[in-house]
Amino acid sequence: MDWGALATVAPTALSSTIYATIQASFLLRVARARPQGAPAAARLPGATPVVSILKPVAGVDDELADNLESFARIDYPCFEILFGVASREDPAVPVIQAFIAAHPEVKARLCLTDPSEALNPKVAQLIELTRRAEGSVLVISDANVRVRPDYLHSLLSVLMRPGVGLVSSVVAGTGERTLGAVIENAQLGAFIAPGVVAAAELAGRSISVGKSMAMRRVDLDRVGGFRSVGNVLAEDDVLGQRFSACGFVVELCLDPIENRNASCSLQRTLDRHTRWAKMRRALVPRCFAAEPFNSPLLIAWLTVLLSPTRLALEVWLFAWALQSLGAYLALRWLRPTRFNLLLVAAEPLRTLCWFFCWLNAHANRRVAWRGNTFYIGPGSELIAAEDPASVRSPAR
């Protein structure tokens, strides 16, 4: 037996098996959920609950005005939109006010929130928005999200299933015009979305993504409300764990929403995904340590660096072809009407950027977010940066 050849091929073969399993699980799940040609979302039977869409806002996201316009086109009989800002000086305020003035037919309000309500600035906004909300169903929707007219019908058709307490949407990054946005949207489509779906399918762990989530107000109160996740960075996933612990089913809505990333810089993309990597490390340290094996292209690259042989190069080419195919199929489902080949071509660069973020997550536990600096403890617990000595060691 040629042990050198085996050592060259085996790591990438293992990684390719893991990657193919994740991508196949994602594609099979979405194929089962929505057969080709079927409508995106069924109409809700019987009476429709009143929905409060909570939008915590901090600054002007890419194409904010157009994102908000998509919510004016929602086809649902009874909903309101509550915008939260921590300061009247927030540059998003004029954009929100213009939206409200342009759409008197939409019940929408701008609310000033109190940053001292929680250490997590987004949760601090959600606490105040929930107080002012009138709906029996609460939908959290980030400002950089764009939706289709059937958005609420789609979410609620999952929420109304027996036993379901929390629903979050699969996210597709769109709108890329810069290199940073290309990498951001490729990461969301080729890595994040398949991983979220596969975690539920293969590991039975539903990951809640806070860009778009729906829950009943009464159920939220039963699990402790937003205040119970006010001191963690991953408030969405921790909230999902609380729902699961109380016996609720945490589900995914497989009708994708758009996360608009148009003109962000590469540095901003790296900063965001380094923060997310640190968050994953705090939540699931063992799974995070194994993350590089989710990318056969990365493992093949490392093999080439350690053993620059012809066989290693052939293995790299195989890994590149496999990962490009996986990215293409995932993006084709998530973004069926958009040009995806640029994002597929960026797969080698996306992989390197992601690995940089993964490595950087091991350097320290410091994150900057929404103008605040924190340290991350176990379970993504937030500790103010002024008190780094209070940070406990990550769970092993």
b/e 336-375 (16+ beta carbons within 10 angstroms → b): eebebeebbebbbebbebbbebbebbeeebebebeeeebb
Residue 244 has which token pair? 């699961």
Query: Which H/E stretch holds residue 217?
Result: helix 217-222
> How do residues 260-299 score in pLDDT, each as one tens digit?
999 999 999 999 999 999 999 999 999 999 999 999 999 9
Q: What pLDDT sits at residue 46? A: 61
Q: What pLDDT sits at residue 206? A: 83
* pLDDT greater at residue 388 or residue 256: 256
Using pLDDT thresholds of 50, 70 and 90, give the confidence band for residue 26: very high
Beta-carbon contacts of residue 131 (< 8 Å; ≥ 6 apart): none
Using CA atoms, how far apart are residues 52 and 281, in angstroms rounded to an integer? 33
Using pLDDT thresholds of 50, 70 and 90, give the confidence band for residue 36: very low
> How do residues 350-360 score in pLDDT, each as one tens digit?
999 999 999 99
Using CA atoms, how far apart are residues 241 and 235, in angstroms rounded to an integer? 10
Q: What pLDDT sits at residue 40? A: 43
Q: What pLDDT sits at residue 43? A: 58
* Beta strands 164-174 and 212-216, pairing class: antiparallel
Query: Which H/E stretch holds residue 140?
Result: strand 137-141
The values of phi and psi at residue 16, to 5°, are -65, -40
| Helix (H/G/I), strand (E/B), else coil: 144 | coil
Q: At what angle do helices 310-334 and 347-360 cross, to 10 degrees?
A: 100
> How do residues 278-289 score in pLDDT, each as one tens digit?
999 999 999 999
CA distances from 178 to 191, 262, 269 (A): 19, 7, 11
Output the average pLDDT for the chain.
90
38, pLDDT greater than 70: no
Q: What is the pTM of this model?
A: 0.90
Residue 7 has which token pair? 């050592």
> How do residues 298-331 score in pLDDT, each as one tens digit?
999 999 999 899 999 999 999 999 999 999 999 9
Using CA atoms, how far apart are residues 163 and 45, in angstroms rounded to an integer? 17
